[in-house]
Amino acid sequence: MKTLHSDPCRLTRRSAAAALALLGLLATVPVRAAPALSMPMEVNFLLGYVEGSGCDFQRNGSWYTAQEAQGHLRDKFNYLTARNRLETTEQFIEGAATESSLSGRPYMLRCAGGPVISSHQWLSDELLRLRKSQ
């Protein structure tokens, strides 16, 4: 009677077959990217980006510091999330960080003496960079 250990070729063939079967199973498992950040995490990242930007923010015709803008946008974020009115970061940008809720005038910003641009574009660009880096 042959034992498993008496035929090294047989063991090798079995090991190879098992390895191939395992590889076949693994090939059917979908490959997933790293999980995306949650909406609150993305918004908090953007709020930190605003605060640390050193840019000036225009709201209703007046200019504010980055810290003041961050505080205002955080208040709007807290208000909307408390009422379950945000599901995505894009909704935050559109509903809270693009224009005044009172006047409808767009929020604008200028950084380091550069051109004045919309907060919508600036935040959307940064969100895209964040997602690409993940």
pTM, 2 dp: 0.73
Mean pLDDT of the chain: 83
> Are 8 and 54 in a shared domain?
no
Is pLDDT above 50 for 20?
Answer: no
| 12 and 58 part of one domain | no
Count of domains observed in the chain: 2
DSSP codes of every residue in 94-109: HHHSSB-TTT-PBPEE
Cα Rg of the chain (Å, integer): 27
pLDDT single digits (tens) 38-66:
999 999 999 999 999 999 999 999 999 99
45 in the same domain as 27: no
Q: Does one domain contain both 48 and 104?
A: yes
Q: Are residues 62 and 123 in the same domain?
A: yes
Same domain, 68 and 128: yes
Give the domain extent around 84. Answer: 39-133
